[in-house]
Each structure stands twice: as C-alpha cells, then as structure tokens.
Amino acid sequence: MILKKSLEKPIIIQNVISNSHLVANSSYAIGSVSKFFVMLTPSFNNTSSNYANTTFFWELSLQNSSIVTDYTREPFFTEVFTEVGRYSLSVNVSNLVSFDYTKEYFIVQEPIEELLINTTTPDFISLGGIVHVVASIKKGTNVTFKWDFGEMDVYVTPSPVTLANRYQERSTANYTYWEVGTYAITVTANNLVSQNEATLSNVITVEQQVSGFSLKEILPTILGDTTEIFAVLKEGTHVRFTIDIGRGAAESVTASEVDDGFFKFDYVFNVSGVYHVVITAFNDVSFASDELSVIVQANIDDIQVIVNSDVIIHQVSQFLVKNNNGEILDRSDLLYQWTVDAKNLSSALPFFTYTFHTTGLFELEVLVSNLVATKKLSVNVEVLNTVAPVVIYHSYFVEAKHPVLFQLMNNVPNVDDDDQNTIEIDFGDGHSAMLDGNSSEPLQFSHTYDVAGLYQVNVSAFTTNVHSVLSVQEQISNISLQGPTITRFYRPESMQIWNVARESGTAILYTWTTKHLSTAPGYNLQSKYQMFTNVLQKECLEFAAAGVYDISVNASNHISWQTINIQTQLQEPILSTSVYIPTVVHGQNSTIEISVQGERPFTFDINYGDGKTGLYFSEDLMEKVFVDSGMYTYRYTLNKHYLLDGEYTCFVVINNTVSSRSVTVRGVVEEKISGVRIMSDSPSILQLGEVITLIAIVDKGSNIIFEWNFRDQISGPYVESLGNMSIATHTFNLPGSYNVTVSVSNALQTEPITVAYPETLQILEAINSLWVSPKNDRYTTSLHIINNITMRTDQVKFHAECSGTEVTFVFNFGDGSPLITRTGVNKADTYTAETVASHVYQEEGSYMVTLTAFNAVSNSSTSLPQPFLVQIPPLGLSFERSHYETKFGEYTNLTVLVNGGSDLKFYWSMGDQTTYPNHGMSVSHKYFLAKDYTVTVTASNNAENVTVQCTVSVQVSLQGVSLSVIHHNCQNGSNNVLICKTDEKITFEAETITSGTDVWYDWNMGDGSYPYYSRNDRRVYDYNQNGRYTVTVKASNANSNVVSEPISLWLQTPVRDLSIRHKGTSIVNAQTSFQALVHDGSDLTYTWNFGDGAIETTSTFTTSHTYNR
C-alpha cells in the first residue's frame, strides 16, 4: 500500500534583496512624464512573476515634506511634476525573507522658453566704449545667463543654479571693450533641464579713435606728375581718407600704408599753383584732419637766348630768354640767374642788360629755374668796336604810370627824301607814334605805360629798325609775411610754407633769410644763417631742428624794395602718450600716471568720468624725464579721489601748441571685500559619489578671486566664478568629515578673507556587500544543561561586515529575543565596516538570523545563508569498560552508553581499518588477527561531537612460557646456578610459546616479595640479600595460563675493604697468627700468601704460619 501526502501550502523560495539602486536623473522638467526604476541585487528578470511577493513602497518628498506615497508590485515609478523644487524619492523593497531601502535626490525645474536679446548701443563704438545688452525669457526657473562678448571674458548673471524656486527672467550686462574688432554677442540661458541660445542681430564693431594724424610737408611737384603726400597716423582702426584741394568739396582718396602708421597718398594736380590741401582721416567713431600747402609748377621746356641787337662796346646790350617759338618766356614762377664776364645777376625777368667795355668773345650763361625744374643755357657773345647807325636810349626798368623818356640817336647822315626821315615808334603796349627825323640832334620823346609788364619797343628810322625792351614795374608796398608762428617738427627735417603778401609790386625777387635763434631740448645745432632767393611769394623753408627761428624776406625789383622779418617756432608734436590708472580700493586715492613723448609745454584736460574735470599744465607739475636716442619722454602723476567705488571711463586730452592726443582709460575703484558667505541647499550628509554644490557670494568687492578648499586630497572641485559669485561643485573621493572653506581676494586685497561653510559635510559610503556569518563559520552551537533545569548555549558570536561608513548594524537572532544594535568599526585604511554581536540561545531549534545595516544615506538587509542550529550535544558517552577480550575466531560485541543528545549519529572505527559510519550504539565485529585493537566511537550532531575509546584483545590459548636472564653480570655456576652480585640489576624476560595479545605476567622472585603482575614481558630486579633464590613467571591471558621452568640464583655480596693483621712475635720456626679483616662480603674463601713462597686456602678469616727462615 502506498500513501501520498502534499504540503498544505507551497514552499516559497526567494532571493535575499540587498544593494538596491534607484535609477534617477539629477534633474527633471515640470510637465513631462518622469520615470524611475529600482535595480535589484540579485537582478530579476523583468517579468511580473519574478516580483511576486515583492513590495515596493515609494515616498516622494518636496523640500523634505512628503507629498506622495505609493505601493507597487513592480520596480517602476512615474510622476508628472507640476511644481519646481528639490525632491527626494525613496523606495523600500521587501519580500518574505528580506528588505532593502534606497533614496535619491533630484531637482525639478521649468524649461526655458523664448530667449530674446537686444541692445541700445550703436553698431560702432570706440575702444573703451561700453555695450549695454539685455536678455529676457518668457519661462524658466533657476536660469543662468552666460554672456559671450566675443572675447575671452564671459559674464554670467549670478543666478544660483541649485537654489530651488529661483526665477531669473532677465539679465542685464554692461561690457567694456578694450580690443578692437567685430564682435557677435551671444547669450546662453540654461538650467538643469534646458538650454537656449540667442545672438544679437547686429554685430558690434569696436574701433580705435583716430588720433595723431598729421601730414608731412612735401617739396613742390611738377605739373602733371603724381604728387606723393605722406601722413603719420598714430592711432585708429578701419580708417578711411578724404582730400580737399581747396575747391570746397572733399573726395575720397586711397592711402597705402608704407610702414606702420605711415601712409602715402597719390594725387595728380591738373593746374599749376599753390594748393591749400586738407586730408581727413576718419572711421565710424571719430575723425582727424590736417592741412598743408602743395606747390605745383610746370616743367621748363627748351629755351634760347636772343640778343636784341648787335653787341657794341660801351653800349647797353639786351638779352632775352625765349622759347622755341620765339616768344619771350614770360612766366612768373621762374628765376633767371645770369653770368657773364665773371659777374652774376639774379632776376625775376627773362631780360638782361649788360654793357661790355672790351671787345672780344664772351660767354653768356643763364640758369632758368623754378622749384621743380632747371634749364641752363650758354651762348657766345661777340663784342664789336663799331657804331650803330641808330641807337635808342631809355631806362630799362621803369615804374608804371610814370613817363618813360626815350632818346633816339641818329648816326646816319640826313636823307633828302622826306619819307625816309619819318620815324615810326611801336611802344609794345598797343600804342605807337610818328616823329620827324630830319633833325641832326638826338630825338627825344616819352611814353607812359599804365600796366606793369615786359614790353618790346620797335623803332623804324632812317631805313633802320631798332629793337629795345623795357620792364615796367610797380613799386613794392606794404608787404607782410604770412606763415605759421609755430608748427610741428618731425625728425629728421621739417618744412614750413611761407607767403609774402603785398599791396603792390611786380617783377619781385624774394631773398629769404632764416636765422636759428634757439634749439629745443635734444638738439645740438648752433645758430646759423640760411639765405636763398626765389621769385615765388610762397616759399618752403626747411628746418633741421626744433627751435625758434627768425625769418626775414627782402622783396625787391628794379625800382623798389622792402624788408620784413618774423619769428617762428618749430615744436615737436606729441608722438605718443599713455595713461594708466592702477586699480585701488575704495577710500584710497587713484593715481593717474601720464607719459608723453613730445616737446613741452603740455596741457592736460581730464574728464574723470565722475562728472568732474580738471585742467593742468606741465609747468605746474612734477615731472620725470627719460631720454632715449635724443627723444624725450615726460612722466606726470596726478591724484584723484573718487567718492564711490566703481568703474570710471577717464578721458584725457593732452595738448602742446602743435598737436593734441586723446586717451581713454579705465579707472577702477574697488569696494573692500566684505559680506562673504557660503550657501547651499545640498544636504550636509551625502553619499560617496553624490555631487554637492556650494555657492560663495561676496556682497561687496570686485574682480574677486575665489579659492575653494574642500579638504579633498585626491581631487579639487569644479569651480565657475561669476563676478561676485562662485559656484563650486564637487564629488568627494573618500568618505569622511570635511570642513569646506573659501578664500576670497583680488589683485589689490591680496590678504584673503576665508570663511567656512557653517556645516561639516559628512560623506558616507553607501552600504554594499552586506553579509553576516557565525564566528569561525560554524552554523551550530551546543545547548548546555545547567543544574539539570536550565539550558543555555555559550556566547555565540556573529560577525557582520559591509562596505560603508558610519554604519549601524541591527541583529535579529530569530528566537524572539530583543534586537541587538551595534556600531560598525571600519577596518584600518579601508571603508569596510564590521562588528561582532554575541547571543545566548536557551532553546533547542533552527533559527534564521537576519541583519540590517544602515547609515544616513542608505540601508541594506541580509540573513545567514542557512539556518543556525542550536542542539544538545552528546552527553556521557562511554563504554561499559575500557578493555575487552575476545577469543580468536569469535565475534566481539561492543555497546556504548549515552546520557543524552540531539539527533546523534555514531561513527565506529574498529582499529582494523573497518568503520561503521552512522551506526547505532552497538556493533558486532569479527577480527581476523589475534592482537590488541583500539576501538573509537564518535557520537556527533551539528553542535558537537564526543569521542570515546576502548581496547579489544583478540587472543589465542597460551602453550607455554620460558624465562631467561638477558642482561646481567652473573657467572654460571654448577648445576645451572647463576652466581650474581647483590644490589645489581638483573633483567628477566618471559617468552610465550604461542603468540597472543593481552598477556599478563605474574612474577615470583623467590625472595618472598609481594606478587608482581604486569603486561610487560620483561622485569628488572635487584636482590639486596645474599643467598640462593628460585625465580619463576606465570603467563596468563583471558583463556589460559602457563608457568615457566625455575631459574636458580646464588646471590653473593662482593668483598670490600680487605686488610690483614698478625699477632704475637715473628720468630723463626715459631707460629705467627694472621687475621683477615673485611668490611663486607659473603660466602668468602681466603687465599693466603705468606711471602716465603707458601700459599694456603681457608674458609675462615684466621690462620697461622711458621717461618723457617
């Protein structure tokens, strides 16, 4: 018959849950579905059946206040957030055999929408100009605005990224550009859940203002050639140029930069003359102009020298300069330098008169020049010694509107024909006259010229034509010298254009004289004169040094002259400037350091940027002078006290009498650093690997340098310092307690101010790898009975261990006793926490021991991998006796006794390599050899084992035993008697005839001593009395006994200390008695040697002897 029975309830086998991990992002956006998931250890397949009997309890908290709780059967949790803030989500996972707990923190923010950027700043600004921009958003929380102005600097609106519910809807930024260029301004608005970027629709172009623009004076140029005008530009970017040549309208002109800051302009003038040229350099933020005079003159074509009549000794000869067309070279820009007969004459006229006083051949040379060309021509003139038939005399240089007296000399006899005596005169100005020439006397007549000029007079008389030339000139009156009284001087040489104004005067020759009166610093020129002549009323004067000069002009023609002089100064312009305002702390004076390269005196017109201005003169200031290669640099220092801290744009205009330079410089007055504090909404207790964010804010101060110290020896924080705020995020690498500090300073306040975060950060390692085990890995213990009433175990120690810090362990021993809490101790130089808990069980049973470990950031639970057994050990295990004998060939029956024990098992070892495991308390066994066996029995359960032993002697019947003496100093005597000494050890040995085990011996020593039994087949014995003894031994086992044949012993005491005495007289042939004295000895025989050759043996100790000699 078969019976079948099932359990009423199924057995549920489950994993122990530990080291669970909640998968969550660091941030979520409101309005979207946010999903969370718990990863379980050991991992489960993602099926519903695997989560049977597993419960997930979720708790969602906002700002540490619980807002949602929920139970699920699967490890998933979803939520749609409607409110921003800092949340925590925890989940408690449990099944029938274990539970675990995990928690994560995260931020919920509103995404950013509609980022806009605009500015009121124009597209072009000056270097040092400020751009004002505004960014705004429609939606978004915890927004950080990052401004990128196209340079290395990035300005971030101080919006703490970790503080919940922080709304920042707009950001305003002011930025000062100190580098020229074109910049696209971009703003990025971001929070933890979104990021938007916007770029300003127009780019900002930063230009350096035009300054230090000056034109270099140039030499006159030839009409039709390209005029090269050079200019110096010290500062300015994106510069363009226009030119105005005096026509009232400017036109664009292209400049080529031939060197750094040195430009060349090419221009072609179509008409000769003196031009007042203005060139303007400009960009989109500034302009600067300079002017100069440009002299344009025509070239000199081929010329010829014409003699107006025969050259006759002692008569005035006339010479004219004409072009190839035969026309008199009547140009106002030409200077004529005549050389004849070793004499020189300069003139503004192409007309030359000279009287030769010797005949012969002379060379006449004329040099015709202007400021751009020179023509030189020489002719040979033959001077005749003859008489001209008709000669006309008059003044060759006369004043206009004054009568000119002419005298006509007739050296030809009269002619009867009246027609031939008529004289026709052409005065060259459109007037003529008819005169009667019959008189032999010189004929005189006059004519008045109304307009100054060069006139050719033609006379037809007496069949002869006479030609003459005269220059009608105006008197020079009221001349004045027009030019700069002070101008810029550029090394190595500079020029000035001077103009002589007059009220009247023609055919004027100008003689210019310059006298060097004084020299500016840096030059070593001595005073000197320069003199040159020209026909232009404008003159380019060249100067080799800056200083003061006297300029005089003598204006002359052939009828008048006037002289005028004036002083002029050439001063070096301001070539370079620099202004520097070091940053100071509020309350200190700002120092304005000005360096100027150029010639004094200077004026400094300063706009301090705070509504105040100042005008200063170099003569009133202390200065330092530096000289390099003859160039002087002057340094001045001004002090300014700003009432408020901040950034000031200081505009400095530096002038001397010939130039002006402007400099824009930034001055900063910093607040004293104060109001330093650290804030955070991160908890002070964090899990290792969790990010903490701290924000340092400085209420007052600028250009702050933040230095964070998280006391982490492995790595430092990620720091983003934003103006007066610094955000430090850090992940600690090691658990421990950390006191975070931040030190703030700047370039001026170098002694840092250090503040500490008010809370000590506790960085804990999350609990992982939790396990518990009994000490020595024994899962059983013994339950002891005390006083036959109370049962209890010894102290059972359980060892708990996990990775983690600041761990508390809670033990549940499974017997209903109170929970035991222990604080974990971390092993040296590790983050493994361990502890030991002891417990005493008082009942027999199987117990499931569970362990929960937790710290401030995590918890975990586990249990022993198998139940812990409490059992009663084997009690009073014993054999009935310790020795058993069995006749060879028969079964040996053995039984053990036990007083108590739980679930005992017996293990028999019979001593002949036969074992009976898991046997009962009795065993029956047959041995196959006759010998002694040790039988071992172990009674055991899971708590303890006890061992007991007995001996089993398997024996055969004895057939006989022999006795012998094996170690002795005895001598063989007669009749098999051994003669031995007393007090000496004698070894007896018994030997059974049939081998067997467990033989014992009964020794009879023959001296009446007590019976002696032993299992040793040898006995060592000594006799202390002399005499005769019979020794036997009886060998016995459990089955039989036999007695040996006896051994006869004769024990004798050895002789000791022998001496001889005699008595009586020793006379020949008389008896002499002797006595032997011994200290010890038995059974003595005396052998006497009397010394005379006689020897005698006796059994007594006395004797006598008769000596015969």
Phi, psi dihedrals of residue 339, rounded to the nearest 5°: -135, 120
Six-digit token string for 1060? 């001889």
Side-chain half-sphere exposure of 47, counting CA atoms within 13 A: 3
Six-digit token string for 50? 């695997």
User: By the 8 A CB rule, do 1101 and 1086 touch?
Assistant: yes
Six-digit token string for 1002? 């009964």
For residue 753, pLDDT over 50 is answered with yes
Average pLDDT over residues 216-223: 87
| Residue 391 to residue 466: CA distance in whole angstroms | 7
Number of H helices, E strands in the chain: 0, 104
What was the pLDDT predicted at 649?
86
Average pLDDT over residues 623-650: 87
The per-residue pLDDT for range 413-449, each reduced to its tens digit, is 555 555 567 889 999 999 999 887 776 678 889 999 9
3-state secondary structure of 1088: strand
Rounded to a whole number, what is the distance in angstroms from the first to the last CA of the chain? 129
| Residue 546 to residue 566: CA distance in whole angstroms | 17
| Residue 350 to residue 455: CA distance in whole angstroms | 12
The DSSP code for 150 is S
What was the pLDDT predicted at 417?
56
Six-digit token string for 999? 């033989």
What was the pLDDT predicted at 1032?
92
C-alpha dist (Å) from residue 940 to 867, 895, 901: 19, 16, 9
DSSP of 993-1004: SS--SS-EEEEE
For residue 77, pLDDT over 90 is answered with yes
Name every residue whose Cβ is closer than 8 Å to that of residue 629 and which is 6 or more positions away in sequence. Answer: none
For residue 807, pLDDT over 70 is answered with yes
Q: What is the distance, to the nearest Å, from the Cα of residue 196 to the centroid of all Cα atoms in its chain?
A: 29
| Residue 852 to residue 822: CA distance in whole angstroms | 11
Task: Give me the percent of the chain exceeding a pLDDT of 70.
Answer: 94
Give the residues across from 556 on adjacent strands. 509, 561
What was the pLDDT predicted at 276?
87
Name every residue whose Cβ is closer than 8 Å to that of residue 212 and which is 6 or more positions away in sequence. Answer: 232, 233, 234, 235, 261, 288, 573, 574, 575, 576, 659, 661
Name every residue whose Cβ is closer than 8 Å to that of residue 124 and which is 6 or more positions away in sequence. Answer: 204, 205, 207, 283, 284, 285
| Residue 265 to residue 256: CA distance in whole angstroms | 7
| Residue 853 to residue 44: CA distance in whole angstroms | 23
Residue matched to tokens 């200063």:
616
Let me know if 578 is exposed, middle or buried by CB neighbors in 10 A (0-12, 13-18, 19+). middle
DSSP of 603-652: EEEEE-SSS-EEEEEGGGS-EEEEEETTEEEEEEEEEE--SS-EEEEEEE
Average pLDDT over residues 500-516: 88
**Cis? peptide before 601, omega within 30° of 0:** yes
Average pLDDT over residues 170-191: 85
Name every residue whose Cβ is closer than 8 Å to that of residue 913 and which is 6 or more positions away in sequence. Answer: none
Six-digit token string for 715? 């790595």
| Residue 243 to residue 251: CA distance in whole angstroms | 5
| Residue 648 to residue 431: CA distance in whole angstroms | 81
Six-digit token string for 526? 């001595």
Q: How confident is the model at residue 273 (pLDDT cuts 50, 70, 90)?
A: confident
Q: What is the distance, to the nearest Å, from the Cα of residue 86 to the centroid of all Cα atoms in its chain?
A: 33
The per-residue pLDDT for range 690-746, each reduced to its tens digit, is 888 898 988 888 778 899 999 988 888 888 877 778 888 898 888 889 999 999 998
Comparison of pLDDT for 151 and 93, the residue scoring more = 93
What was the pLDDT predicted at 46?
46
Strand order, beta sheet including 144-148: 154-156, 144-148, 186-190, 195-199
C-alpha dist (Å) from residue 114 to 203, 369, 934, 1014: 21, 79, 99, 115
User: By the 8 A CB rule, do 494 and 520 touch?
Assistant: no
The per-residue pLDDT for range 295-350, each reduced to its tens digit, is 899 999 889 998 888 899 999 999 999 988 888 888 888 899 999 988 999 888 99
Average pLDDT over residues 105-113: 88
What was the pLDDT predicted at 523?
74
| Residue 281 to residue 260: CA distance in whole angstroms | 16
| Residue 693 to residue 88: CA distance in whole angstroms | 16
3-state secondary structure of 777: helix
User: By the 8 A CB rule, do 418 and 438 touch?
Assistant: yes
DSSP of 1040-1109: -EEEPPPEEEEEEPPPBS-EEEEES---TTSEEEEEEE-SB-SS--EEEE-SSS-EEEESSSEEEEE---
For residue 186, pLDDT over 80 is answered with yes
Six-digit token string for 759? 């809370």
User: By the 8 A CB rule, do 262 and 297 touch?
Assistant: no
User: By the 8 A CB rule, do 36 and 25 touch?
Assistant: no
The per-residue pLDDT for range 1076-1108, each reduced to its tens digit, is 888 777 778 888 888 888 888 888 888 888 888
Backbone conformation region of residue 618, classed left if phi is above 0, alpha if psi is from -120 to 50, else beta:
alpha
Amino acid identity of residue 103, one-letter, is K
Mean pLDDT of the chain: 86
Residue matched to tokens 């005096």:
246
Q: What is the distance, to the nearest Å, from the Cα of residue 656 to the centroid of all Cα atoms in its chain?
A: 48
Name every residue whose Cβ is closer than 8 Å to that of residue 679 and which is 6 or more positions away in sequence. Answer: 160, 163, 694, 695, 697
The per-residue pLDDT for range 946-984, each reduced to its tens digit, is 999 999 988 887 888 888 988 778 888 888 889 898 888
For residue 47, pLDDT over 50 is answered with no
Side-chain half-sphere exposure of 1045, counting CA atoms within 13 A: 6
What was the pLDDT predicted at 799?
94
